[in-house]
């Protein structure tokens, strides 16, 4: 039996594939909102809705399969997983599952990209962390200054989120450097997969990260935290099977929690919390 080998992807191939899958995620969300709105407001006849929904979903399914085939290969596990999903069933559950699976594929691609960058030593830009390709701590305050100015002009709040694995010192003592490095890379991948294209990820030190989340309030930042917790739990389970590595986080929202950059940092530092264990 011939063993299947996935295509060898360059950095440009991976970046293009990530961009394509993110666009398809946005398309899925747009279709979901258009055809599965809340009950209030005028509603189209169900037969009209179902006809257009089916047409949109079939087009989406073709686009996603084409993107996955181009990226991973026709006989890859990723294409098989998407085929098993039965996306064209066009139920609200398949939309959700489709988004979850695309997130996992983007995570895989981002992880490949970071490993390739690390192997080739290509990340040497000022203000970019060499291991994770996130912005550095030095850049955080610069971007926060931009966000404060934007918020003051537009009246849009934004969130500042800090994250780190719990008991990181113990983790470093217990595991070898390869495992520790893999946890840091996976953390960066989870963050990039969980945020929108216009949010900003930063690596502050070792496994401590920060996010600047635009147009964010108390409710929506909680949703982001939940996505990150789920993604980090899945990622660490692949690296350390059977080991639960909790995530600590602290957050502040401008201008509600503070009206200055130093105030945002102070507000966040006072409210570190640890993610609850999975139920």
**More confident: 53 or 25:** 25
The percentage of the chain sitting over the pLDDT mark of 90, rounded to a whole number, equals: 34
Tell me the pTM: 0.77
For 185-210, the pLDDT digits (tens) are: 999 999 998 888 889 999 998 999 99
Q: Which of these CATH numbers, 2.60.120.10, 3.30.70.270, 3.40.47.10, 3.30.360.10, describes 135-274?
A: 3.30.70.270
CA distances in angstroms from 208 to 21, 40, 42, 168, listed in the order given: 27, 43, 47, 9
pLDDT at site 5: 60
Q: What is the pLDDT of residue 42?
A: 43
Structure tokens at 92: 């609200």
Domain-by-domain residue ranges, the chain? 11-120, 135-274
The CA distance from 276 to 181, in Å, is 24
Q: In which band, very low, low, confident or very high, does the pLDDT at 44 lie, cut at 50, 70 and 90?
A: very low
Amino acid 89: pLDDT: 58
**DSSP assignment of the chain:** -PPP-PPP--HHHHHHHHHHHHHHHHHHHHHHHHHS--SSS----HHHHHHHHHHHHHHHHHHHHHHHHHHH-TTSHHHHHHHHHTGGG--HHHHHHHHHHHHHHHHHHHHHHHHHHHHHT----TTB-TTT-PEEHHHHHHHHHHHHHHHHHH---EEEEEEEETTHHHHHHHS-HHHHHHHHHHHHHHHHHHS-TTSEEEEEETTEEEEEEES--HHHHHHHHHHHHHHHHHHHHHHSTT----EEEEEEEETTT-SSHHHHHHHHHTT-EEPPPP-
pLDDT digits (tens, 9 = 90+) for 144-180: 999 999 999 988 899 999 999 998 999 999 999 999 9
| Arithmetic mean of pLDDT over the chain | 83
Highest mean pLDDT among 2-16, 71-85, 236-250: 236-250
Q: 165 forms bridges with which residues in the sheet?
A: 247
């Amino acid at each position: 039996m011939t063993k299947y080998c996935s295509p060898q992807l360059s950095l440009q191939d991976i970046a293009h594939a990530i961009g394509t899958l993110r666009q398809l995620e946005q398309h899925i969300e747009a279709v979901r909102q258009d055809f599965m709105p809340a009950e209030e407001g005028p509603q189209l006849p169900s037969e009209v809705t179902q006809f257009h929904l089916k047409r949109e979903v079939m087009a989406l399914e073709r686009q996603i399969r084409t993107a996955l085939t181009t990226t991973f290969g026709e006989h890859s596990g990723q294409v098989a997983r998407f085929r098993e999903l039965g996306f064209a069933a066009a139920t609200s559950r398949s939309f959700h599952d489709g988004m979850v699976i695309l997130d996992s594929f983007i995570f895989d691609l981002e992880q490949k990209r970071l490993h390739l960058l690390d192997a080739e030593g290509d990340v040497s830009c000022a203000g970019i962390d060499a291991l994770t390709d996130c912005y550095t701590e030095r850049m955080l305050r610069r971007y926060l200054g931009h966000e404060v100015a934007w918020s003051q002009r537009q009246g849009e709040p934004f969130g500042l989120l800090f994250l780190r694995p719990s008991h990181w010192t113990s983790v470093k003592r217990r595991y070898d450097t390869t495992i520790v490095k893999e946890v840091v890379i996976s953390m960066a991948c989870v963050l990039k997969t969980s945020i929108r294209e216009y949010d900003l990820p930063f690596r502050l030190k070792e496994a401590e990260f920060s996010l600047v989340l635009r147009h964010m309030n108390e409710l929506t930042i909680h949703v982001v935290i939940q996505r990150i917790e789920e993604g980090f739990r899945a990622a660490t389970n692949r690296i350390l099977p059977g080991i639960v590595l909790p995530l600590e986080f602290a957050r502040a929202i401008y201008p509600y929690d503070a009206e200055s950059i130093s105030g945002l940092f102070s507000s966040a530092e006072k409210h570190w919390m640890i993610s609850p264990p999975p139920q």
